[in-house]
Amino acid sequence: MNSNADKDYIDAKVEGLDARLAAASGTSDAKFGTVDARFDAVNTRFDATDAKLEAIIAMMVEMRSALEAKIESAFQRATSQMVKWMVGVLAAGITIVVTVMTFVLNNAIPKAQPPAPVAPVSAAVPAVLIQVTPRGVTVQPLTPAAPPVKP
């Protein structure tokens, strides 16, 4: 074999392989182009889904904030109601205790009979009726005088 012939033979084989490789490369590029287009479509769907999820998350955050505010206001309202009722019950309890203790202390201990009134010194003088008439002043005893008692 001749070295030129060998070289031509090898060159022909390499060119044939290059041609087959170029043809395969063209078809694979076309296949990869369709695959890339499908991946682009999937990426577009993922982007749309991501946007929807971001909107849902934002809405859920807003709902959570509103719910927390509602719970906080309900808790404050319940606390104020509880304080109001506790103060009312305490005031009513104190009123009842004071009333019962006053009643018990006023009625449970027997009261001493008040001493008999001492007759004033002027009681020895009989009551009189003073009448003013146009003719003058007359003094009459209110009760007729009893005749003096003989010993």
Query: Could you please report the per-residue DSSP string of 108-133?
Result: SSPPPPPPPPPPPGGGGSPPEEEEEE
Residue 130 covered by a domain: no
> Is the model's pTM score more than 0.85?
no
For 114-149, the pLDDT digits (tens) are 777 765 555 455 566 666 666 766 666 566 556 666
Residue 66 covered by a domain: yes
Q: How many domains does the chain have?
A: 1
* Full domain range(s) for residue 99: 3-109
Residue 141 covered by a domain: no
Residue 129 covered by a domain: no
Residue 138 covered by a domain: no
For 42-81, the pLDDT digits (tens) are 999 999 999 999 999 999 999 999 999 999 999 999 999 9
Residue 36 covered by a domain: yes
One-letter amino acid for residue 67 of the chain: L
